[in-house]
Structure 1
């Protein structure tokens, strides 16, 4: 597991100079300078133990605990020539947090997990007791002529006693557009099932402690995409089971 050290921040907060630290520490001044100026390079636990003893603090005080950011930085360094990383259009921790905040404004607390070198992500509910349940996958595609945010398996289940599925889906569609515009992506594609039969969400109904009536449809009515200025894919031969809706962002 990767980790960064917090030595530079710790020294600044405690007003300790490099020379002062070298006088009380068993590590050489060159090693200390390297640890301070390059937090992720050559940081090992044995060095942190020595530093913690010299500074009379815990090892935890000297470790950057944002593992998600550290891991992303490692992958970003390996992909520094990739256009998606250069433009910061992947599902980085910062972008994931922005998207999570958008969903919270809709009323959907969720967990967003990045994978596939941060070009794909899964979105699922974080709390079982939410009145809105979601489960879908996201991809960022980099084609020669454009970059695309793709939403697959647009599953949304809502408690019909409190909310309207169409209203929630419409708001989520607008949230995705806000996200795509922020990242300067060129297009949004929704891949939607053609199954429009309303079904009961038995699991959510059985586990709700209050009266609830959760339902969902795997498909999404065309009206929601048309009113948001989406167009159907120009390849009808691919629409036996799914429909693709596309929108180009200006």
Structure 2
């Protein structure tokens, strides 16, 4: 079974199409409101991504905590960031882009992760002019096409990761747009999840050990299923 020490940060890479082959098991882990949300998606791809993201999140948390995934509850802060209900000490963050999901876990320290597929069809210069600092914009302009797109998304994911770690999401992005990031209490780490993608991790404090994992389809699931669902009393 998994173990997450206080000085460790784990990042998991999940391929949606592969993990969805265990859809029935992942679905069995979801709470009623999560199943309703999945059913409400108009497009199959969005539904599959949500089931995998929340189902694998529950599976991995269940492994870390030695609990059935269906017994876990979630709360949300004022900005919509989810957290585990109860005093378990594990913090987490999730992100997805075009068939890939990243999940980050830490113990007793906040963490944020963001992933994006590199693409050039979004009006990147206009977005950068609205959101990035003058120094970040100058760096982008100094690069040739091809490198510029990757640098843009590297900067964007870094900002997103810090915003998620802070727990403020878009509100923090709005507060810091046009200004350089000065995350004195945070450590930033670039990630390389797959060719054509960039990602960033933000972790509270420093001195942690980072481990990156590839989620194997069904990992944790079979043992958790054998353990059985939670009893009606919890």
TM-score, structure 2 normalization: 0.26
TM-score, structure 1 normalization: 0.24
Q: Which protein has the larger Cα radius of gyration, Structure 1 or Structure 2?
A: 1
